[in-house]
Amino acid sequence: MLRFEDVVQARERIAGQLVLTPCTPSEAFGEEFGGHAWFKFENLQRTGSFKERGALNRMLLLTEDERRRGVVAASAGNHAQGVAFHARRLGVPATIVMPVRTPLVKVSNTRRYGARVILHGSVYDEAMQRALELRDAEGLTLIHPFDDVQVMAGQGTIGLELLEQCPEMDVLVCAVGGGGIIGGIACAIKSVRPEVRVVGVESATLPAAYRALEAGHVVTIPPGQTIADGIAVRRIGENSFAALQRWVDEVVLVPEEEIADAVLMLLEREKTVAEAAAATTVAAVLGGHVKDVAGKNVVMVLSGGNIDVGVLSRIIDRGLAKDGRLAFLRVVTDDRPGALAQLTAAIAELGANVLQLSQRRSIGGLWLTEAEVDLTLETRGREHVDELTAHLRELGYRVALE
pLDDT for residue 376: 94
pLDDT at 124: 79
pLDDT in tens, 291-324: 999 999 999 999 999 998 888 999 999 888 888 8
Predicted confidence band of residue 368 (pLDDT cuts 50, 70, 90): confident
Secondary structure (DSSP) of 361-398: -S-TT--TTEEEEEEEEE-S-HHHHHHHHHHHHHTT-E
Q: Which of these is catalytic: 75, 191, 240, 303?
A: 303
More confident residue, 123 or 132: 132
Please provide the DSSP assignment of 105-137 as one string.
Answer: HHHHHHHHTT-EEEE--SSHHHHHHHHHHHHHH
How many domains, the chain? 3
pLDDT, mean over the chain: 94
Q: Which three-class secondary structure state does DSSP give residue 18?
A: coil
Q: Are residues 97 and 225 in the same domain?
A: no
* Residue 30 phi, psi (nearest 5): -60, -40
pLDDT at 95: 98
Asked if the model's pLDDT at residue 64 lies above 80, the reply is yes
CA nearest neighbour of 175 among 46, 265, 304:
304
Task: Say whether 270 sits in a helix, a strand or coil.
Answer: coil
**Is 111 within a domain?**
yes
CA separation for the pair 83, 102 (Å, rounded): 16
170 and 284 share a domain? yes
The confidence score (pLDDT) of residue 369 equals 85
SS3 (DSSP) at 78 = helix
Same domain, 346 and 330: yes
How far apart CA 162 and CA 301 sit, in angstroms, is 10
Q: Is residue 74 part of a domain?
A: yes
88-112 pLDDT tens trace: 999 999 999 998 988 777 788 899 9
Are 308 and 381 contained in the same domain? Answer: no
The sheet with strand 398-401 has its strands ordered as 353-360, 370-378, 326-334, 398-401
CB of 7 within 8 A of CB of 157? Answer: yes
Domain of residue 377 covers 324-401
Q: What is the CATH number of the domain that holds 394?
A: 3.30.70.260
pLDDT of residue 84: 96
For the segment 1-27, the average pLDDT, to the nearest whole number, is 97
Q: Which of the following is catalytic: 51, 106, 190, 296?
A: 51
pLDDT score of 43: 97
Pairing mode, if any, of strands 94-98 and 71-74? parallel
**What is the maximum alpha-carbon separation in the chain?**
82
Based on C-alpha coordinates, what's the Rg of the chain? Answer: 25
Entry pTM: 0.89
**Whether 172 and 290 share a structural domain:** yes
Residue 213 confidence (pLDDT): 97
User: Is residue 149 in a domain?
Assistant: no
Cβ–Cβ contacts within 10 Å for residue 313, how many?
10
My answer on whether 187 and 301 are in the same domain is: yes
Q: Nearest-CA neighbor of 207 among 192, 195, 219, 194?
A: 219
Strand partners, 329: 375, 401
State mean pLDDT over 253-279. 96
Q: Which of 284, 318, 352 is the last residue of a domain?
A: 318
282 near 23, Cβ under 8 Å?
A: no
pLDDT for residue 182 is more than 90 = yes
What is the structure's pLDDT at 209? 98
Kindly state whether residues 289 and 193 are assigned to the same domain: yes
Q: What pLDDT, on a 0 to 100 scale, did the predictor assign at position 49?
A: 96
307, 263 in Cβ contact below 8 A? yes
Query: 16, exposed or middle or buried, with CB in 10 Å at 0-12, 13-18, 19+?
Result: exposed
Burial of 316 (0-12, 13-18, 19+ CB in 10 A): middle
Same domain, 198 and 227: yes
Query: Using one digit for the tens of pLDDT, what is the confidence trace for 329-351?
Result: 999 999 899 999 999 999 999 99
What b/e readout covers 28-54, taking b as 16+ CB neighbours within 10 angstroms? ebbeebebbbbbbbbbbbebbbbbbbb
For residue 229, what pLDDT is reported? 87
Q: What is the pLDDT of residue 168?
A: 98
C-alpha neighbours within 13 Å on the C-beta side of residue 236: 33
- Would 203 be classed as within a structural domain? yes
Tell me if 148 is assigned to some domain.
no
- Confidence at residue 153, expressed as pLDDT on a 0 to 100 scale: 98
Spatial separation of the C-alpha atoms in residues 181 and 160, rounded to whole Å: 13
Rounded to the nearest 10 degrees, the angle between the axes of helix 238-247 and helix 149-165 is 30
Which uninterrupted H or E stretch holds 98? strand 94-98
* 150 in any annotated domain: no
pLDDT at 133: 97
Domain boundary (286, 318, 350) is at 318
Burial, 115: exposed, middle or buried (Cβ in 10 Å; 0-12, 13-18, 19+)? buried
Taking residues 214-219, what's their average pLDDT? Answer: 97
Find out whether 84 and 143 touch, Cβ atoms under 8 Å.
no
Amino acid code (one letter) for 163 = L
Average pLDDT over residues 46-51: 95
The CATH number given to whatever domain includes residue 96 is: 3.40.50.1100
**332 beta partners:** 372, 398
In a domain, 147, yes or no: no
Question: What is residue 179's three-state secondary structure?
Answer: coil
43 and 55 part of one domain: no
- 303 as an active site residue: the answer is yes
Query: Which pLDDT score is estimated for 380?
Result: 94
Residue 240 near residue 186, CB atoms below 8 Å: no
* 322 flagged as catalytic: no
**Residue 308's pLDDT is what?**
84
pLDDT of residue 170: 98
Is residue 182, in this structure, part of any structural domain at all? yes
The whole-number pLDDT of residue 167 equals: 97
What percent of the chain lies above the pLDDT cut of 70? 100
